[in-house]
Amino acid sequence: MSPEMHKTWEAACLSRQRSYSPYSHFAVGAALKIRNSDLSIGGCNVENASYGGTVCAERSAVFSAVSQGYQDFEFLIVVTDAEPPAVPCAFCLGVLAEFCPPDFPVHLANLAGVERSYRLDELLPHPFKLL
């Protein structure tokens, strides 16, 4: 794993530790590597008793990055304690498609490291586009 990927994986692991998942008990952390920067911005899943109010880690990371003024991402790492590592849900893939090109790298990891890597268009081959 490259140093920048390792740093981003660590940010995703730390974000996972902050997960608020009292209902599913499925903690997820995600981190986006900001292009042309040393920054990795993380997010965790935040559940709600009203399930519609739940936000996934991937969207949490995107929303956090955008709210801090970043929209140019190099790659995403998603960390779970699942085998195989979990794939982002359709909502998250749709949000990623809003900000990322089809060849955007999505790395799936567990607590030991990155296990699988995909391009966004492999996970979401026909994204919704309003324009």
DSSP string, 4-69: HHHHHHHHHHHHHHT-B-TTT----EEEEEETTSS-EEEEE-B--SSGGG-B-HHHHHHHHHHHTT
Active-site entry in 47, 58, 98, 115: 58
Is residue 10 among the annotated active site residues?
no
Q: Calculate the CA 101 to chain-centre distance.
A: 15
**What tokens were used for 129?**
């586009």
CB 85 within 8 A of CB 110: yes
**What tokens were used for 87?**
């794939």
**Which residue, 86, 82, 75, is CA-closest to 119?**
75
Residues with a catalytic annotation lie at: 58
